[in-house]
Amino acid sequence: MELFAHRGVSGEAPENTLAAFKAAAESGAHGIELDVQLTKDGQIVVIHDETIDRTTNGTGYVKDLTWEQLRTYDAGSWFHPSFKGESIPSLEEVLDVVTAHHDSMIINIELKNDLIDYPQLEEKVLELLKEKGMKEQTIISSFNSASLKKVRELDPDIETGFLFEGIPANILDRIKPLQVNALHCDLSFAQSPTGRNVMDMGMPLRVFTINTVEEFQLVKKAGVEVVMSDYPGLFLDYL
């Protein structure tokens, strides 16, 4: 079983910032999970929410702001004053940080396009991964079925994972046309009979977001492939 740092070590540093990803690279985690969207001028940036309101001192939708505008906002102070000056990073910056600190780390890139359509997001992400030579260590995930289907059409080999919540009875029917390599689910699914059946069929489960030892022991018992956590360092001794 492997540990992924959810949005970096987001329990100890502001989520989806270079500080959180540097902490992840130094934490002993096997991978990082992050979210990507596109700016008004088509730059791939790492941020979870569709707006910058919650995690910066600015307001507005990511899609309505240029990369140059986004860079001016403080994405660290909301978490703690010691992180003042952290900014929203580009995906390229995060990939460079990973390469510099832990070049074999797995990168789970979630395409945040289930609420807002970002034309060319899939192409841009795949092109950057190819340019950086990091495709082999990357997983592309999304709640957006059409987006995952497009990724598979663009690249038959890259690792993909379908994101969902709860225990949908028709999950196998939903993922069949997507040709994904794994399911990214919550604890309830991992513990369910459906979840066990899926794993018995050879489909790995990667579970979000586990932050207590009690939860961790449950997913470990279930036999999942990956645990995503805001505090990955908590669980290294339990692997």
Side-chain-side CA neighbours of 211 within 13 Å: the count stands at: 8
Q: 121, 36 in Cβ contact below 8 A? A: yes
Side-chain-side CA neighbours of 68 within 13 Å: the count stands at: 1
Radius of gyration of the chain (CA): 17
d(C-alpha 189, C-alpha 168), whole Å: 8
Phi, psi (degrees; rounded to nearest 5) at 127: -65, -45
Any idea which residues carry the catalytic annotation?
Answer: 6, 48
Residue burial 112-135, b: 16+ Cβ < 10 Å; e: rest: bbeeeebeebbebbbebbeebebb
> Which is nearest to 142 in space by CA: 187, 182, 172?
182
**DSSP string covering 208-229:** ----SHHHHHHHHHHT-SEEEE
> Which is nearest to 89 in space by CA: 126, 35, 51, 142?
35
Residues pairing with 228 in the sheet: 4
d(C-alpha 207, C-alpha 164), whole Å: 10
> Which is nearest to 234 in space by CA: 224, 217, 223?
217
